[in-house]
Amino acid sequence: MVELVKDGSTGMEKVVLREPGGATAQVHLYGGHVTSWKNDKGEELLFLSSKAIFKPPKAIRGGIPICFPQFGTFGSLEQHGFARNRFWVIDPNPPPPPTALTGGNNGNGTTSSNNNNNSSSKHQPFVDLILKHGEDEHKIWPHSFELCLRVVLGLGGDLTLITRVRNTDSKNFTFTFALHTYLSVSDVSEVRIEGLETLDYLDNLKDRERFTEQGNAITFDAEVDRIYVGTPTKIAIIDHEKKRTFVLKKEGLPDAVVWNPWEKKARAMVDFGDEEYKHMLCVEAAAVEKPITLKPGEEWRGRQELSAVPSSYFSGQLDPSKVLQG
């Protein structure tokens, strides 16, 4: 089921997706921003700050903000670009339903069928949102574009985000991009990431100097802000305490940003609780190191699929192959 509702506390419009098994997701039109993803037990899987501000120009702190057309400070625009603090609209003519999109190249076709009436979408609720350039955007980024986000809540509760950028201009443009995913974790110091070992990363805390990851897996005991470059398509985030593993699969987004502000930065952020850094971890499918250039009429596509599975891990008995294969 797909429903557009007005949030009682913030007055903002959001789309609620409900899957027959009981999982849910919600997407705010402000920012084209996924702000909730719950499993069939009603447990929230994304972190959303208790101090999040639902008012422009501030982006919502938590969920999955979209960084476009610039990630971080990699350019002259405001941090993470403007897509996350603009109002998006629901696409009245979405491309064919979810199954037709995975790996296909027919995303340009349109259909007049409505999300709610489509037979396959009865089982896999989805919504398509669009952000087009307006006059305000044109002043700061003089390119005509169309940015589309499809959010699909799959059977079993997997959450897939498919993003498309189309150059509707008469000249090339270049951008960087990230799906800035805030995962909810029990205690970040009990979490490890597998799938990024031995990779190179740019350290945002050291003027983006390039290092090579040395450890077997990544664990957390201080602030981290890294861009792992050219990563595998599958990354596992293992929450020991919750006995839950997030599996993140991505396409078209070669890099992965890992961020936790830790104590000092947490205190400095107005829209983030002092202790909340313990309960979140950002792992972001991204295209940062090699910016993407589109010629007029060209389209780029990026995809991130998240699933939350019971962890088969026990402290000291890690077997990455169990999570990273298959």
Q: Which of residues 161-180 bind ligand G6P (CB under 6 A)?
A: none
CA distance 110 to 108: 6
Q: Binding ligand G6P by CB under 6 A: which of 25, 159, 282, 285? A: 282
Report the residue closest to ligand G6P, judged by CB. Answer: 259
The verdict on whether 33 is a catalytic residue reads no
Q: Decide: is 259 part of the binding site for ligand G6P (CB under 6 A).
A: yes
Q: Decide: is 31 part of the binding site for ligand G6P (CB under 6 A).
A: no
Nearest to ligand G6P of 63, 195 (CB atom): 63
Q: Cα 69–73–79 angle (5° rounding)?
A: 65
Task: Give the ranges where 127-273 is alpha helix by DSSP (H).
Answer: 135-140, 262-268
> Could you tell me if residue 207 is left (phi over 0), alpha (psi between -120 and 50 degrees) or otherwise beta?
left
What residues have CB less than 8 Å from 52, skipping those under 6 apart? 60, 61, 62, 271
Q: Decide: is 204 part of the binding site for ligand G6P (CB under 6 A).
A: yes
CB of 56 to ligand G6P, least distance (A): 14
Q: Binding ligand G6P by CB under 6 A: which of 19, 158, 194, 225? A: 225
Catalytic residue among 180, 240, 276, 289: 180
Q: Binding ligand G6P by CB under 6 A: which of 257, 266, 306, 308? A: 257
CB of 295 to ligand G6P, least distance (A): 29
E strand or H helix at 98: helix 98-101
Which neighbouring-strand residues pair with 227?
202, 257
CA distance 222 to 188: 10
CB of 206 to ligand G6P, least distance (A): 12
Q: Decide: is 72 part of the binding site for ligand G6P (CB under 6 A).
A: yes
Q: Decide: is 184 part of the binding site for ligand G6P (CB under 6 A).
A: no
Q: Which of residues 76-95 bind ligand G6P (CB under 6 A)?
A: 79-80
What residues have CB less than 8 Å from 301, skipping those under 6 apart? 107, 162, 163, 164, 251, 252
DSSP assigned state of 60: P
- Under a CB-based contact definition with an 8 Å cutoff, are residues 86 and 115 in contact? no
Q: Looking at 6-14, 22-30, 72-80, 138-146, which segment touches ligand G6P (CB under 6 A)?
A: 72-80
How many chain residues interact with ligand G6P (CB under 6 A)?
Answer: 9
CA distance 153 to 312: 24
Q: Decide: is 55 part of the binding site for ligand G6P (CB under 6 A).
A: no
The verdict on whether 284 is a catalytic residue reads yes
Q: Decide: is 260 part of the binding site for ligand G6P (CB under 6 A).
A: no
Q: Backbone phi, then psi, for 268, in 5-degree steps?
A: -80, -15
Which residues are the active-site residues? Answer: 180, 284
- Residues in the site for ligand G6P, rule: CB under 6 A? 59, 72, 79-80, 204, 225, 257, 259, 282
